[in-house]
Chain A
Amino acid sequence: MSLDQNEISKLARLARINVADSETEELSQRIGDILDMVDVMQAVDTSNVVAMANPHDAVQRLRADEVSETNQREHFQAIAPQTEDGLYLVPQVIE
């Protein structure tokens, strides 16, 4: 099984990863190989098996509603690609 160019483009689009045309074929082959490899799962009857999302049957712990964080803007923005007036800057967003 291999994915066609359209499918690769769609995935690349969803993942926001630019994929050059020259890379498509190899990617398609490699992803196809993995899909072939995992295909063995389809033969297993799992109709009565409850999906398992986490290793333990543990439950969510709750945090008290108390402020524990202080302003660290300068510290955090020291590693930002581009900021101004305390804002992170990105190319213009069009709604």
Chain B
Amino acid sequence: MPNHTVADILRGLEAKTFSSEEITQQYLDAIVAHDPRYNSYITVTADAALAQARAADQARQKGNGGLLCGVPIAHKDIFCTEGVRTSCASQMLDNFIAPYNATIVSKMAQAGTVTLGKTNMDEFAMGSSNETSFYGKVHNPWNTDCVPGGSSGGSAAAIAAGLAPAATGTDTGGSIRQPAALCGLTGIKPTYGRVSRYGMIAFASSLDQAGPMAKTAEDNALLLQAMAGFDPLDSTSMQLAVPDFVGNLNKDLKGLKIGVPKEYFSEGLDPAIGAAVEAALDEYRKLGAEIKAISLPHTHLAVPCYYIIAPAEASANLSRFDGVRYGFRCENPKDLDDLYTRTRAEGFGAEVKRRILIGTYALSSGFYDAYYRKAQQIRRLIKQDFDAAFKEVDMIAGPTTPNPAFALGEKVSDPLTMYLEDIYTIAVNLAGLPAISLPVGFTQGKPIGLQLIGRDFDEASLLAAAHQYQQRSDWHRQAAPGSV
């Protein structure tokens, strides 16, 4: 099992080297033995996983298994899973047993995956360090004194620690790509509308997008193949055919034009990361790509724009948590007002409450135009930067994060510097574009991520570019020190 990829497992299952039940049991054992060090899971569904694994083994034997038949994975605890607690890492939903499945959960199950459990995350996906979880912080397997990134930090740590070969994540401002970068993984945020949001607990509806996290681009292609596609239950899901991501992995990169925005190499970028990214670009030159300098002039406005739009949408999305129909309710409410204000004060953590209040402010009478409308206009300028760039180039490359994993607790008291860790990832969500992060080196023993940004709905090119880089590098094959 050590360092297994999804593709490895599929080959092993096909060759009958092991059964799904065996490999699932191995992962479950590893979680029990090692997760106390990382805290990457909130809930482990051992019995259900083994039952699913046995069913998958039977299906495979009969030859009617899905694309990922028998592959164990983990779901971020933001996706509703019927009959299983779905907490969003919040006390508010600590007692919430989801009564239905998210579309992506159903689709993965149809593809034959086995669910090991639900992974830790920042509360309601609000954070970049996985330190805001009601269930405690998550440790980075590469350096357990450091954060794994967030908000999909549990998914990232679980994969890096060998406690799952792959996992689902969500990305509102970098929440797949940043933890992937910080944990030495590959993770893709698909184009907005590519993967259904139905059953994924909303943070910021116009930015949220689900996607896979795994060790390799090939695994990402396999997982995205299973989870992507039109969903009639999501009005923002796009009615487009899903390309053959796996079949496209070896598409020739000759003549590919990669733009490198000068704004992504400004002050604040760790020089070691800058150097690793340059080295990776050299590899792309060798693969026949053409590297061009470009400019995305509104880059500096992305973080401010995001910190109005995301909290504004969140402030309304989180109003449903009121202690009436499900979830946490405060003890002995003395009247309706008390029910609301104490349930929400006690059920939400500090960062969530802060963001709700910011969002409330940005939408309130007298401030809407100056904040919310302004941010929506800036959002268009940011999108137009990308539109202009994609007239010149096919793909945009740069660092995923300005710094490697930082120490746990280091930025908790200074949210603003934490927000700046997402400076390269946030604009992509504002524009709705697909982007992938892949490992391209290490600094002080901590992984470095390269981000590739693609045109709308062109995930196939990103996966191909990442895959072919990984055919000539082994950063993604490195195992974290304590990993299984």
Contacts and interface: CB of A to CB of B under 8 A. Distances in A.
B64 interface: no
Interface string A3-37: 10001101110111111000000010011011101
A67 interface: no
Most chain B CB inside 10 Å of its own CB: which residue of A12, A16, A27, A80: A16
A15 B344 contact: yes
B193 A56 contact: yes
Nearest to A33: B416
Interface residues of A, number: 51
A19 B345 contact: yes
5 contacts: A16-B341, A44-B381, A46-B381, A81-B323, A91-B339
Nearest to B347: A17
B361 A31 contact: yes
B307 A38 contact: yes
B336 A90 contact: yes
B483 interface: no
A53 B341 contact: no
Interface residues of B, number: 70
B72 to A, nearest CB: 27
Nearest to A40: B304
B295 to A, nearest CB: 16
Interface in B315-357: 315, 319, 322-327, 329, 333-342, 344-345, 348, 353-354, 356-357
A30 B415 contact: yes
Contacts of A30: 354, 415
Most chain A CB inside 10 Å of its own CB: which residue of B298, B339, B341, B342: B341
A72 interface: yes
B30 to A, nearest CB: 31
A46 B236 CA distance: 26
A52 B344 contact: no
A41 B378 contact: yes
A37 B353 CA distance: 19
Contact of B364 (A14, A41, A81): A14
B332 to A, nearest CB: 10
Contacts of A38: 304-305, 307-308, 371, 375
Contacts of B206: 53-55
Contacts of B370: 42
Given A54-B206, A58-B236, A79-B95, A18 B374 contact: no
A53 B378 CA distance: 11
A43 B339 CA distance: 42
A35 B362 CA distance: 9
B236 A27 contact: no
A91 B232 CA distance: 37
Contact of A82 (B329, B337, B348): B329
B26 interface: no
Contacts, number: 166
B379 interface: yes
A15 to B, nearest CB: 5
A17 B379 CA distance: 29
Instruction: Tell me the dominant secondary structure on chain B's binding face.
Output: helix
Closest 5 CB pairs of A and B: A55-B432, A51-B376, A18-B345, A46-B377, A18-B341
Interface string B402-433: 00000000000001100100000000001111
Contacts of B192: 54-56
Contacts of A75: 99
B358 interface: yes
Contact of A58 (B193, B307, B357, B433): B193
Contacts of A42: 370, 374
Contacts of B380: 49-52
B300 interface: yes
Most chain B CB inside 10 Å of its own CB: which residue of A15, A42, A63, A80: A15
Contacts of A88: 324-325
B303 interface: yes
B357 A15 contact: yes
Interface string B352-396: 011011101100100000110111111111010000000000000
B374 A27 contact: no
A70 interface: no
A2 B354 CA distance: 14
A31 B235 CA distance: 33
A91 B308 CA distance: 34
B39 to A, nearest CB: 26
B424 to A, nearest CB: 17
B18 interface: no
Most chain A CB inside 10 Å of its own CB: which residue of B95, B357, B360, B456: B357
Given A50-B380, A81-B325, 15 more contacts: A3-B361, A17-B341, A18-B341, A18-B342, A35-B358, A37-B419, A41-B301, A46-B374, A49-B378, A52-B380, A55-B430, A56-B236, A80-B326, A91-B336, A91-B338
